[in-house]
Amino acid sequence: MKKLLVIAALFIGAGTVSCVRVDREASPVRGAWARAADSAATTAAYFTYVNRDTITVEITSWSSPDAASVELHQTMVMDGMAHMLPTTALPVIEPGDSLVLTPGAQHLMVIGLKRRVAAGDSVTLVIATSRGRSLRFGAQVRAP
């Protein structure tokens, strides 16, 4: 019995160590999600990019194998009406800062979905940064 407890403790210990390692190498992208939409339709995707680096990071491109194209948009309220405009400037994220894509603000417009995406599905997004890094991640689909 004592031996079993020791083995269990070893396993728990090993689990803790690997958790720490995963966290240290974790993707800078957090909480990615997209709205459910029909095939050929356009949806919006949101995420937070946390710059844990010591230098400024610029996001230089965005795309999706699940859609015809992806644009970075900014929502702006003019005369009480919300408008979306493509953002031309590349997002620059200072060390320790985050880029937050959220409803009513900046978001990715995922245009021309190649398939219907329902709640529980995932939309794959790919972003490239000025550090030469390409990040591929899934945005969890939520009901619109």
Q: Which residues bind Cu ion (CB under 5 A)?
A: 73, 84, 109
Residue placing its CB nearer to Cu ion in the complex, 35 or 73: 73
Please, what is the minimum distance in Å from the beta carbon of residue 51 to Cu ion?
Answer: 23
What's the min distance (Å) between Cβ of 102 and Cu ion?
12
The contacts found for 1-4 with CB under 8 angstroms, 24 or more apart, are: none
Q: How far is the CB of 16 from Cu ion (least distance, A)?
A: 42
Identity at 60, one-letter amino acid code: T
User: What residues have CB less than 8 Å from 59, skipping those under 6 apart?
Assistant: 49, 90, 91, 93, 99, 127, 128, 129, 130
Closer Cβ to Cu ion, 50 or 109, answer by number: 109
Least CB distance from residue 134 to Cu ion, whole Å? 23
Give the whole-angstrom CA distance, residue 45 versus residue 89. 18
Nearest to Cu ion of 109, 130 (CB atom): 109
